[in-house]
Chain A
Amino acid sequence: MARRLAASEGGRGSRLAILAAAPLLLMLLLFEILPLIVVGLDGLHTDSGWSLGNYAAILASPFQRNAFLLSVELSLATAVLGVVIALPVAVVLRRVPKGVSRALLVYATIGANFTGFPIAFAFIIMFGLAGFFTLLLVHAGWIHGLNIYSLSGLVAVYVYFQFQLGLLLLMPALEAITPDLRDAARVMGASDRVFWLRIGLPILAPALISAFVFLFANAMGTYATAYALVGGNANIVTIRIGELLAGDVFSDPHLADALASLLVIGLAIPIVLEQILLHRRRDG
């Protein structure tokens, strides 16, 4: 319909429309597409010309390999935890009065964006060496101490924003589990457990996969929170890239580009797989 409309304007409308869209397209080109292209090209460049040398160097270095490994582990763990915690909470939120669930979701919108120093420092106050909860647990005699500046500390802080993001992603999907569906299953004699295993989870599977991939990508790209909590001590990809950029000794500028390209490729794989998987489901 829109095309017919443009034609009826004799092309003048669409020419004006292109003019109206041009500034945004230019900005996207200059500050989104070109930077990506430059990173991809520079990663293939070494001092001796075009080569895959940077990639070979990354693969040969246990340090860089471990950074990728740790990033993937951290992201897998927090994405799984995020979805696993968010799903039952989302189910509960559908049952409580609307005002209550709305308030929690509004806060989740903010909470999902609490990254970097604000959330890292809040966790240090609560779970740091002299943190409120640390002392509480030590006084109770349950633990001898906590180390928030560690991998498990990172997992805890990540999960804080991951589960709230998961909540936001899963709430709309739960609309598909209607009360009728539950009633019908109950009439047929299905227990709650059977309902979720046979009906609920299969219906939600695409949404759960999408949410998982989104959370995985979110965690893989997280820089500020890890930087704020453990600084350079976390051997994860984003921190390594940042260090190569900000480091005083910039020995190999193309290494950062190659690392960044690998990160993008690593994220593209699950996203493409997800698309293929979900499209096959829809077609089949």
Chain B
Amino acid sequence: MLDWVVVTFVALVQILPVIAVALNAVATDWAGSILPTGYTWRWVEQLLHDPRFTVAIWHSLVVSFGALVIATCVSVPAVLAAHCYLPRLDRWLAALVILPYAVPGIVLAVGLLRLYAGNYGVVLTGTPWILLLGYVPLGVAFFYVPMKNNLRALPVSEFLEAGRILGASDFAVLRRVVLPCVMPGFVVGIVMNFSLAVSEFVYANLLVGGSYPTLQILMNVLSSGSGHLLSVLITAYFLIVAIATSVLLTVSGRQDRAA
């Protein structure tokens, strides 16, 4: 009985912020009363017709999918190669991908600003490039950790040796046999990298800011207003994260059933 009280309480605490923001997004007025006095789609329409919103969504999608493509293209081959052929590098990689968890984003932001604001002849700040490239180290762990878990369960060297006896190149074995086996970890990496890029604020605000406004930057701009538009924007962000997460759950659920 007490268990269910705890579970219900935790679930309420978890979900209440989302409900509060969503209610405020469709409330006519919610000041001085416990519940909104009326409901309206006015704020939703207003934001949808706001050119700043269209631009911010577009920028966020460019940055998120762009960073995702770059992160995938550089991380996945590296994780596979290090695991299969370069055990010494693999140990280094394990430490390097975890480093951003010990070093706050703001510290890295300071360093990126020193390096890429023109002091050394390269200007990436103020452009989406610093986000597209800067997010890669932050998200590698999302590929590395789950893919390593999948890889550890596989006799990769036996696969490769069997392939060689049968005349298949290592590349063919990796692509046809190993890669499909690490798919679950790969999907986790993709969704988590996407969520990271959509949610990130420190780099977006300090390195790019108003010159390439993303959703998070627009939140900063709208935070000085009435709050209703900000609520609509945050609800849109919640929806994007929810969609990404449900994709992850669908795929991992299918994997569970297949296993």
Contacts from A to B (Cβ < 8 Å): 1-6, 9, 13-14, 16-18, 20-21, 23-25, 27-28, 30-39, 42, 88-89, 92-93, 95-96, 100, 104, 106-111, 113-119, 121-126, 130, 132, 135-136, 139, 160, 164, 214, 217, 220-224, 227-228, 238, 241-242, 245-246, 256-257, 260-261, 263-264, 267-268, 271
B258 part of interface (Cβ distance < 8 Å): no
Contact partner of B102 (CB less than 8 A), chosen from A35, A224, A241, A271, is: A271
Cβ–Cβ contact A28 & B107, under 8 A:
no
Expressed in whole angstroms, the minimum distance between the Cβ of A103 and any Cβ of chain B is: 8
Q: CB-nearest residue of chain A relative to B109? A: A245
Distance, CA A39 to CA B99, complexed state (A): 15
Apart from A31-B137, A260-B111, A264-B103, list 4 A-B contacts with CB within 8 A: A104-B7, A135-B33, A257-B110, A263-B107
Which A residues are CB-close (under 8 A) to B34?
132, 135-136, 139
B11 part of interface (Cβ distance < 8 Å): yes
B57 part of interface (Cβ distance < 8 Å): no
Distance, CA A53 to CA B150, complexed state (A): 50
| Known contacts A107-B15, A121-B234, A122-B17; A36 and B223 CB within 8 A of each other | no
Distance, CA A119 to CA B238, complexed state (A): 11
Q: List 18 A-B residue pairs with CB atoms under 8 Å apart, sorted by A's residue number.
A: A5-B85, A13-B85, A17-B81, A23-B74, A27-B136, A31-B137, A32-B100, A92-B6, A104-B7, A109-B245, A117-B234, A121-B219, A122-B20, A135-B34, A217-B104, A224-B201, A242-B106, A246-B206
Cβ–Cβ contact A223 & B105, under 8 A:
yes
Contact partner of A113 (CB less than 8 A), chosen from B21, B108, B195, is: B195
Cβ–Cβ contact B21 & A256, under 8 A:
no
Contacts from B to A (Cβ < 8 Å): 2-4, 6-7, 10-11, 13-18, 20-21, 23-24, 30-35, 73-75, 77-78, 80-87, 89, 93, 96, 99-115, 133-134, 136-137, 140, 156-157, 160-161, 170, 195, 199, 201-202, 205-206, 209, 216, 219-220, 223, 227, 230-231, 234, 237-238, 241-242, 245, 249
Distance, CA A25 to CA B90, complexed state (A): 11
Cβ–Cβ contact A39 & B102, under 8 A:
no
Cβ–Cβ contact A2 & B157, under 8 A:
yes
Contact partner of A267 (CB less than 8 A), chosen from B87, B104, B114, B133, is: B104
Cβ–Cβ contact A104 & B10, under 8 A:
yes
Secondary structure call for the B interface: helix
Which B residues are CB-close (under 8 A) to A2?
83-87, 156-157
Which B residues are CB-close (under 8 A) to A256?
110
Cβ–Cβ contact B114 & A38, under 8 A:
yes
Distance, CA A174 to CA B191, complexed state (A): 27
Cβ–Cβ contact B195 & A264, under 8 A:
no
Q: Which 6 A-B pairs have the closest CB atoms?
A: A35-B111, A221-B104, A122-B17, A17-B85, A24-B78, A17-B81
